Amino acid sequence: MTALNFPPIDFPARIAAVAARLRREGADAYVGTRQAALHYLHGAFMPWRGAVIVTADGACETVYWAMDASRVREEGTVGTLTEFWFDGMTEAIRETLARLGAADGRVGLDLSHPGAAQIAPGMLTASEYLDLQSKLPGAKLENGTRWIDDVMLIKSPAEIARLKQAALVSDIGFRAGLAAVRPGVTENHVAGVIEQAIRDHGSTWAWAITGGTEVGSGPRTGFLRGVTQQATDRPIGRDEFVILDLHPMIDLYLADTSIPVFLGKPSARQAAMIDCWEDVAATMLAGLTPGRPIAECVKEGIATFAKHGFSDFSLPLFGHGLGTCARTRPFLNLRSDDVVQPGMVVALGTHLYVPDAGGMRLEFPAMITERGAEPLVETPPKVHRVAA
């Protein structure tokens, strides 16, 4: 694979945008510990504990675990990086805030994601929060997650270029996995084929929270409300669903792609499930038009499941945002207060899991344009049939 020439990312502009948001909030600093914030503001792959600290006057510094700090300093963009050992992150944050004149001010932390179904990687732990409270007695500590999420919500052209490439790589990986599905082949083998394909095309990390590249087959696709299928040595059999779920990373930007496969001939029950799932997926893709409240779109998906009689086996969750993390706004569920806007990039989700019959999952990268949701992958959101 040849080197990719992406448009450069303007990191100073990102920092300035966060600082401007702080000033509008009347806040003094933001301390970002999530993967999304670390990658967005520092620009290096940062899997360990650390924080990027931005002040209202535009200063930006990083604190990071000493055993990975040399690489992160070399590969990132923020000039000042303070190293810490063991559990020294909170003290490093305190020292940095004090040096920047914000130790007694209003400080936003990555504490929780209102509306999220899961905890984003890197949220501050309870012990870290309590430690910061004791170390910063003059500060007003609060949840600052929304401040930076608002900045990250609408993607720039440079971000969209990276997200499109990540989606393209996930397409390549899906096709490789689809070609490897046949009776007797193990889930692990198919996962390995996918991993080789996405790595050969530039992916540098497979999002690890769910076990990296997920492959589930047969009964393992039908766990009630079951959204995790780490690959195992189970041989794939005839007349069963197969879930392939890919999470490649390109230059710190993620895709999240899962499109169902059926090997063999579906039963009448499975055929009804497929009809339902494809109807819901199409309804959600068509419904994401600018100006609509996301919760309103979600209600349409829920109603479509009900129309087919599969409400008890569906999920009221229809995806999440994509960027430097896959746990970021907009969250496509009834708790969302976001409105569909051009420039959002989402992994549109549709979930149906029926014990003893199987299940289907859609994770479908799409960009919101003035016309609606534009797929970033070429593979259509349909169940792909493989002859047994």
Q: Does residue 207 surpass a pLDDT of 90?
A: no
pLDDT > 70: percent of the chain:
99
Superfamily of chain region 11-152: Creatinase/prolidase N-terminal domain (3.40.350.10)
Instruction: Report the Cα–Cα distance between both ends of the chain, in Å, rounded.
Output: 33
pLDDT score for 199: 97
Q: What is the pTM of this model?
A: 0.97
| DSSP designation for 230 | B
Q: What is the pLDDT of residues 109-124, one digit of tens each?
A: 999 998 787 889 999 9
Please state the CATH superfamily assignment of the domain spanning residues 157-386 in this structure: Creatinase/methionine aminopeptidase superfamily (3.90.230.10)
pLDDT for the residue 351: 98
State the average pLDDT over residues 209-215.
88
Portions of the chain given CATH number 3.40.350.10: 11-152
- In angstroms, the CA 103 to CA 121 distance is 25
Smallest CA-to-CA distance from 235 within 220, 246, 257 is with: 220
What pLDDT is attached to residue 239? 98
Tell me how far apart the alpha carbons of residues 20 and 25 are, in angstroms, rounded to a whole number. 9
Longest dimension (CA), the chain: 68
Please report the pLDDT score of residue 3 as a whole number. Answer: 59
66-to-23, 48, 53, 144 alpha-carbon distances in Å? 32, 10, 17, 26
Query: Cα–Cα distance between 266 and 334 in angstroms, integer?
Result: 32
The mean of the pLDDT values for the chain is 96
Assign 3-state DSSP to the chain and report helix, strand, coil percentages, each to 5: 35, 25, 40
Distance in angstroms (rounded) separating the CA atoms of residues 236 and 155: 39
Per residue in 97-106, pLDDT tens? 999 999 999 9
Strands (E), 326-377: 345-354, 358-369, 372-375
Which candidate, 376, 374, 377, 295, places its Cα nearest to that of 330? 295
In this predicted structure, what is the pLDDT of residue 323? 97
Q: Where in the chain is the domain with CATH 3.90.230.10?
A: 157-386
Query: What single letter denotes the amino acid at residue 215?
Result: V
Amino acid residing at 216: G
Amino acid letter at 59?
A
For tokens 């479908």, the residue is 364
pLDDT band (50, 70, 90) for residue 7: very high
CA–CA separation, 325 vs 350, rounded Å?
Answer: 20
**How far is 388 from 281, CA to CA, in rounded Å?**
25
